[in-house]
Every structure is written in structure tokens, then in C-alpha cells.
């Protein structure tokens, strides 16, 4: 697919999945990268050409969700999103399994896609983000079920995370950002 076709495919995907939340998200690089972040529900993968990180919300049934640093909850959905960039020929589920294990120590089974984060640059391309599509990139979000904990898989220096009651996580997440968390909990029920 050519550049114009990639752009058309991405626009068609975004048009088919309206956002339920839009916020400005300034990434603290030097210089700061101003982005518009949109949260969207979806059950299909975004086009390959527009993807960056693969993310997941990790649950244990419908009663517990893995939360990054609960004492410092900010109200953003980011506190329940684990994941990162794919390596070589990894599939999105393989990327998520590896990233969740490295970030939390948990092995997971990857379920269905519940949505995605869409970022749109509000300024010129940033040299530290040259490996991401410009001006738009998306991060698919899967529901994932915790299987077992393996301390040896956890990379040094990762944020503390723990399972918290789903009701508490929902209360700590801004209302406009809750639909993705709700969808993940329902998916893994």
C-alpha cells in the first residue's frame, strides 16, 4: 500500500470509530510534543501503517484490575494500560504478552480488542518520535487475563503495580475515560 492509500485507510478507520474522550496530552520530551489524544472503543485492529505500541488492560475476572502505582492515581486510563512497541516479527498478542510480563511480572492470555488510543500531533514532527507514524498514530488496546506471576520476567526499574478492586479503579478513572476499562472488565468476565 502506498502512502496515500495508508493515509486513506487510517482516516477510514478513524471515521468508523468516533472517540468518547479527547484530551490534550503533552509528551515531556525536549522540546515538548503537543498531541491530541482520543480514546475510542473498537473490536478490530487499526491499520498496520498507523500502529505504534500495543496495549492491554489486565484483569482477574470482573472484580480486579492490574493498576500501575495505585497510591498516585491521576484519573487517566494510563494507570491500567500495559504494553509497548513490537519487536521484529511479533504479532500484537505476542507483543502484549512480552510487554506485560516485562512491566509487571504477570503472564497473560490476550483476549479481544476493546479499543484504541489515537494520537494526533499538534505540531511539527519530533526527531525522537521519528519511528512513529505522523501526524496520526494509534495504540490498540486488548483485554488480557492474568495467568500467573513470575518475578524473573519483571524488568528492573518498572513501576509498582498491583491488582486493585475494579470498583476502586473505575472510581479513580475519569468518567470520560472509563468506557475502555468497563469494556475490558466485561470482556474478561
What pLDDT does 151 receive?
Answer: 87
Is the pLDDT score of 1 beyond 60? no
Question: Contact 118/38 with Cβ under 8 angstroms?
Answer: yes
> pLDDT tens digits, residue range 137-157?
999 999 999 999 998 888 887
Residues above pLDDT 90, as percent of the chain: 74
Q: Which residues of 85-94 are buried (b: 16+ CB within 10 A; e: fewer)?
A: ebeeeeebbe
Report how far apart, in Å, the C-alpha atoms of 135 and of each of 45, 92, 115 are.
Answer: 19, 22, 20
- DSSP label of 51: B
Across 163-188, average pLDDT: 94
Query: If 0-12 CB within 10 Å is exposed, 13-18 middle and 19+ buried, where does residue 43 land?
Result: exposed
Is the pLDDT score of 2 beyond 80? no
Report how far apart, in Å, the C-alpha atoms of 51 and of each of 144, 145, 157 are.
Answer: 19, 23, 26
When divided into structural domains, the chain yields a total of 1
Question: Contact 21/4 with Cβ under 8 angstroms?
Answer: no
Question: Contact 184/113 with Cβ under 8 angstroms?
Answer: no
Host domain of residue 117 = 3-187
pLDDT class for 118, splitting at 50, 70, 90? very high
Report residue 91 CA to chain centroid gap: 15
Q: Chain-wide mean pLDDT for the chain?
A: 92
CATH number at residue 161: 3.90.79.10
Q: Could you tell me how many residues make up the chain?
A: 189
Across 27-43, average pLDDT: 93
Question: Contact 3/159 with Cβ under 8 angstroms?
Answer: no
Gyration radius of the chain over CA positions: 16
pTM, two decimals, is 0.94
φ, ψ of residue 63 in degrees (nearest 5): -110, -15
What pLDDT does 91 receive?
Answer: 96
Question: Contact 177/76 with Cβ under 8 angstroms?
Answer: yes
Query: If 0-12 CB within 10 Å is exposed, 13-18 middle and 19+ buried, where does residue 72 land?
Result: exposed
Residues above pLDDT 70, as percent of the chain: 99
Amino acid at each position: 500500500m502506498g502512502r496515500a492509500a495508508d493515509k486513506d485507510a487510517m482516516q477510514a478507520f478513524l471515521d468508523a470509530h468516533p472517540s468518547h474522550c479527547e484530551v490534550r496530552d503533552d509528551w515531556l520530551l525536549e522540546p515538548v510534543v503537543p498531541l491530541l489524544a482520543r480514546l475510542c472503543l473498537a473490536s478490530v485492529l487499526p491499520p498496520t501503517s498507523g500502529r505504534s505500541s500495543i496495549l492491554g488492560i489486565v484483569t482477574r475476572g470482573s472484580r480486579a484490575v492490574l493498576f500501575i502505582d495505585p497510591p498516585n492515581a491521576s484519573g487517566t486510563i494510563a494507570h491500567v494500560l500495559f504494553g509497548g512497541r513490537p519487536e521484529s516479527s511479533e504479532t500484537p498478542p505476542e507483543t502484549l504478552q512480552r510487554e506485560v510480563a516485562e512491566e509487571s511480572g504477570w503472564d497473560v492470555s490476550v483476549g479481544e480488542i476493546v479499543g484504541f488510543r489515537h494520537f494526533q500531533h499538534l505540531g511539527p514532527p519530533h526527531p525522537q518520535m521519528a519511528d512513529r507514524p505522523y501526524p496520526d498514530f494509534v495504540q490498540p488496546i486488548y483485554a488480557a487475563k492474568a495467568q500467573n506471576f513470575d518475578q524473573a520476567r519483571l524488568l528492573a526499574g518498572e513501576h509498582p503495580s498491583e491488582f486493585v478492586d475494579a470498583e476502586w479503579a473505575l472510581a479513580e478513572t475519569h468518567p470520560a475515560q472509563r468506557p475502555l476499562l468497563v469494556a475490558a472488565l466485561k470482556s474478561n468476565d
